[in-house]
Structure 1
Amino acid sequence: MFSHVMLGASDLDRSKQFYDAFLGALGAKPGFTDPKGRTFWRHAGNTFAITRPINGEPATFGNGSTLGFAAASTEQADAAHAAGIAAGGTACEDPPGWRGDAATGQLYLAYLRDPAGNKVCVLHRPPKPAA
């Protein structure tokens, strides 16, 4: 359904440092910056990017918005969360851990905000048991 996700950032260097660490823990290579100043990360067939808003206004985060990133394991989710915090992110919501119930299923979630205030989540969905 999606071709890419792009978020606004006013301090591109700080945001690149954050996402290089955060996405690196999920297996992505460091982002590359194009001549227009946009930085892109490509991994596992997906594209994520940051840019200054083209209207010249300061970047703002979407209140109520969350961008989710997949993790292969709880350890990888924890590593991405820790890398993001170490690179200037801020913990938010509950600490990383399992959430859900029998109706929705169990998910391992780790939330944080990037340096621009965008809320991101690392999600690990355990494999379904064999029937």
Structure 2
Amino acid sequence: MFSHIMIGTNDLDKAKTFYDALLGTLGVPPGRVDRHRIFWRTKTGTFSVTKPINGQAATFANGGTTGFAADSVDAANAFHAAGLAHGGTTCEDPPGIREGSGVKLYIAYLRDPDGNKLCALHRVPA
């Protein structure tokens, strides 16, 4: 359904350092800078950050979350730890199991340096 996700940033250098470390924990190669944007590409999609084209400050989406698939609980925990180590802040409950509707998920939430809400999600086998 999705080809890419793009969020705003006010500091490309800080965003590159943050997301290279964060997404690296999930096996994503370092981002490539293209003028006012950075792209992290995989076989399953593209994640990108951009300085807003209209010249206004980037702001986060209230109620919005960008979720990344984690192959394991350890990968989700590494994602969370890398985010905190590179300027992110924790939000929601601590990383852990969430259950509902017959699904068991391991989820780790945090916010990037610009306030965007991120999540690493691992679907725990039944």
TM-score (norm 1): 0.92
| Partner Cα separation in structure 1 for residue 42 and residue 20 of structure 2 | 12
Q: CA deviation at 1:104?
A: 4.1
Larger Rg: 1
| Partner Cα separation in structure 1 for residue 99 and residue 59 of structure 2 | 30
| Partner Cα separation in structure 2 for residue 37 and residue 45 of structure 1 | 23
More strand by share: 2
Give the match's secondary structure for 1:6: strand
Matching residue of 2:55: 56
Count of aligned pairs between the two proteins: 126
TM-score (norm 2): 0.96
Is the CA contact 1:108–1:125 (under 8 Å) kept in the aligned structure 2? yes
Q: What code does the residue aligned with 2:43 have?
A: A
* 1:3-41 C-alpha deviation (Å, 9 max, x unpaired): 10000001111111110000000001110101x221000
Q: How does 1:64-79 map to 2 (within 5 A)?
A: 64-79=63-78
| Partner Cα separation in structure 2 for residue 116 and residue 12 of structure 1 | 11
Give the match's secondary structure for 1:14: helix
Is the CA contact 1:27–1:43 (under 8 Å) kept in the aligned structure 2? no
* 1:58-82 C-alpha deviation (Å, 9 max, x unpaired): 0000001011000000000000110
RMSD of aligned C-alpha atoms? 1.0
Is the CA contact 1:22–1:80 (under 8 Å) kept in the aligned structure 2? yes
| Unmatched tracts of structure 2, length 5 or more | none
| Partner Cα separation in structure 1 for residue 38 and residue 102 of structure 2 | 35
Q: CA deviation at 1:45?
A: 2.5
Matching residue of 2:104: 106
Query: Moved runs in structure 1, 4+ residues, more than 4 A?
Result: none
